[in-house]
């Protein structure tokens, strides 16, 4: 019999922790910085409610209906070439696991640096970051060591299974992150001049609500919630039959979005108060934020709390991606959990090597397998749920035996509106990152 989550608290902690990861504490703030502040936030909130919640219901429904991982779920519901599609999505996840684990290693290293600063042994944590171009033996060596360490931690959790491993770790790491963010907010908003950062984050001009900002927000929603036809499908396969998918999907997106907003309130007031640059891109978390801590009294303590809490949340999303592969191999190939876990570890460490070299490799890796690959997977999932999976099966998963007119309207929304939104995000990604004509949107 397939293992399921043991409690609703554990389920929500796991799902929110998976969704938050680095997506909403690393990527959300720098996307806000690059796309104009409050206008991006407002559009993100609308899209999270109208697209992410129903899409998440769909992915969970697919997982619970089939009780299989990515390799088997699409084949089970009758998708043409379902096994090949499953392998393609697994390959995307496997490459993403590799580069994403590198980034988790950066966070862990920054945590170590903040702890060292507290005992007078401070050092520049940015030495672990890949250079813009060329090759740094020191950076490469540190990344290799910390990526191997993070992968080992993920493997240890996955080996223990759903309840004893994933759920137990999640019930500790997720609350710790939110408590840490609240402490950071209390410190950030009380700095002289912090109110400018709060206004920038929460106030907007109608003219800032452009199509480009909306599409960027849509892409971030897909990334941050963990949509992609893989992670949430596998975790959906571990949902008990009595779990209310509608309610828990809503709470998961609320928790994920709340973490992003809290991260913004923790970071931007301090950035403005200290005269730093809010639109500094992916380096915001790893370059700008450490400068904030350097300028604060007892900043190492706040830095230790922040990066420590973020390390735990990042680990949860890494564990989820790891579990996608392990579950697929155990479900479909009949491997033992130990064999699957060991194989994923070894191959992931090899795949992690190229993006360690420099950012000219890492950034395209992220855009291709994170933004592009995840958006493609999300499209495959919503089309599968809306057009291949039987309508009766979908309604049963979402609403049980008593489907209301609102539930039937939700199914129509999943069939038409959500795929259209995801296709729009995919088109934007292709035009922006492949063709280079995003201005045409």
Nearest to 229 by CA among 121, 389, 352: 389
pLDDT digits (tens, 9 = 90+) for 98-146: 889 999 999 999 999 999 999 999 889 999 999 999 999 999 999 999 9
**Which residues, 6+ apart, have CB-to-CB distance to 56 below 8 Å?**
225, 227, 232, 249, 252, 253
| Entry pTM | 0.92
Q: How far is CA 360 from CA 108, 126, 134, 252, 433, in A?
A: 22, 17, 9, 34, 13
Structural domains of the chain sorted by starting position, each given as residue range(s) with its CATH number in brackets = 8-440 (1.10.4160.10)
Mean pLDDT by 10 residues, the chain (441 residues): 91 91 77 82 93 96 95 95 95 91 95 94 91 96 98 97 95 94 92 90 80 83 87 96 96 93 89 80 76 86 92 92 94 94 97 95 84 86 95 93 91 93 79 62 40
pLDDT tens string 31-63: 887 787 888 989 999 999 999 999 999 999 999
Q: What angle do CA 153, 156, 159 make, to 5 degrees?
A: 150
Measured over all CA atoms, what is the biggest interatomic distance in the chain, rounded to whole angstroms?
A: 64
Q: Give the containing element (helix H, strand E) for 396.
A: helix 391-399
Label residues 142-180 b or e (16+ Cβ within 10 Å = b).
bbbebbbebbebbbebbeeebeebbbbbbbebbbbbbeb
């Amino acid at each position: 019999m397939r293992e399921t989550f043991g409690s609703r608290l554990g389920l929500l902690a796991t799902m929110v922790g998976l969704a938050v990861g680095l997506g909403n504490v690393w990527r959300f703030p720098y996307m806000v910085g690059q796309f104009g502040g409050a206008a991006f936030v407002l559009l993100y909130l609308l899209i999270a409610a109208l697209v992410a919640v129903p899409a998440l219901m769909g992915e969970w429904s697919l997982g619970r209906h089939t009780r299989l991982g990515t390799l088997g779920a699409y084949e089970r519901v009758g998708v043409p070439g379902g096994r090949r599609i499953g392998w393609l999505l697994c390959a995307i996840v496997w490459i993403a696991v590799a580069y994403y684990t590198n980034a988790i290693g950066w966070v862990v290293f920054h945590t170590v640096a903040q702890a060292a600063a507290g005992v007078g042994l401070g050092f520049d944590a940015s030495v672990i970051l890949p250079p813009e171009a060329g090759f740094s033996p020191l950076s490469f060596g540190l990344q290799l060591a910390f990526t191997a360490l993070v992968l080992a931690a993920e493997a240890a959790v996955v080996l223990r299974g759903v309840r004893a491993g994933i759920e137990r770790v999640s019930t500790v790491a997720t609350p710790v992150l939110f408590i840490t963010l609240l402490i950071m907010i209390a410190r950030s908003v009380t700095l002289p001049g912090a109110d400018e950062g709060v206004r920038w984050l929460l106030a907007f001009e109608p003219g800032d609500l452009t199509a480009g900002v909306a599409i960027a927000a849509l892409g971030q929603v897909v990334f941050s919630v963990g949509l992609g036809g893989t992670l949430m499908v596998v975790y959906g396969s571990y949902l008990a039959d009595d779990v209310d998918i509608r309610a828990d999907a809503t709470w998961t997106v609320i928790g994920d979005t709340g973490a992003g907003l809290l991260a913004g309130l923790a970071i931007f007031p301090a950035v403005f108060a200290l005269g730093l640059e809010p639109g500094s891109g992916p380096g915001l978390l790893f370059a700008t934020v450490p400068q904030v801590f350097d300028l604060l009294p007892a900043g190492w303590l706040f830095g230790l709390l922040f990066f420590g809490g973020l390390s735990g949340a990042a680990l949860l999303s890494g564990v989820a991606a790891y579990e996608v592969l392990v579950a697929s191999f155990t479900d479909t190939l009949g491997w033992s959990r130990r064999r699957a876990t060991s194989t994923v570890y070894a191959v992931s460490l090899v795949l992690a090597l190229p993006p360690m070299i420099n950012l000219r490799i890492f950034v395209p890796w992220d855009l291709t397998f994170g933004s592009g690959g995840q958006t493609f997977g999300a499209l495959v999932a919503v089309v599968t749920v809306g057009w291949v999976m039987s309508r009766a099966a979908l309604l049963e998963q979402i609403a049980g035996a008593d489907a209301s007119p609102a539930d039937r309207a939700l199914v129509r929304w999943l069939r038409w509106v959500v795929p259209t939104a995801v296709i729009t995000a995919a088109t934007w990604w292709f035009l922006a990152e492949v063709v280079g004509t995003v201005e045409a949107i």
